[in-house]
Amino acid sequence: MRSVNLNNKTIFISESVIELFEIFKQNNTKDNESGGVLIGQVKADNIYILKASTPNKFDKSSRYSFECDKDAAQIVMDFEFYNSNNKSIYIGEWHTHPENHPTPSRKDIKMIKNQFKKNKLNEPLLILIIQGTERLYVGLYDGNKIAFKIL
Ligand SMILES: [Zn+2]
């Protein structure tokens, strides 16, 4: 479990999720970006990232871009919601970057803002995680701005 404090919230990332990000690191020059959705729970000021979905064949992926297929992601989220007694919800997005020190692209920022607008969020926040080849970017969008740390 890793924790990050952002904007008076504490984000807890489960060990299994950290391990999953590690697996998809773009360590080879031919590796494409990978990604998926983040699933978790929010209790007061604590945000728990419990699961991350893995890439599927409907996603669009290249060396420098990743676009998560929303219909496929919805199926995963419905499954997780049902199997957690309606506790686990969509909490954000993750993907990899082929750079040591990952920072979101303009497209990434636009994507997270669109997701915020588009989804009927139970909690007015979304997490954006980018796994670089070395470090991990963790951002928290509250509908206004993105607070972030690079671990
Ligand atoms: Zn990106």
Region 43-64: mean pLDDT is 94
Distance CA 24, CA 3 (A): 21
- Average pLDDT value over all residues in the chain: 95
- Residue 121 pLDDT: 83
- Ligand 1 centroid from CA 34, angstroms: 10
- Ligand 1 centroid from CA 87, angstroms: 28
pLDDT band at 83; cut points 50, 70, 90: very high
pLDDT band at 123; cut points 50, 70, 90: confident
- Ligand 1 centroid from CA 89, angstroms: 22
- Residue 122 pLDDT: 78
CB under 8 Å to 20, separation ≥6 — which residues? 52, 54
pLDDT band at 23; cut points 50, 70, 90: very high
Does this model's pTM top 0.75?
yes
Query: Which residue spans within 53-98 are E strands per DSSP?
Result: 60-62, 65-67, 89-96
Q: Where are the alpha helices (DSSP H) in 25-93?
A: 70-82
Domains along the sequence of the chain with CATH: 2-150 (3.40.140.10)
Answer whether residue 3 shows pLDDT above 90. Answer: yes
- Ligand 1 centroid from CA 102, angstroms: 8
Distance CA 121, CA 119 (A): 5
- Ligand 1 centroid from CA 42, angstroms: 25
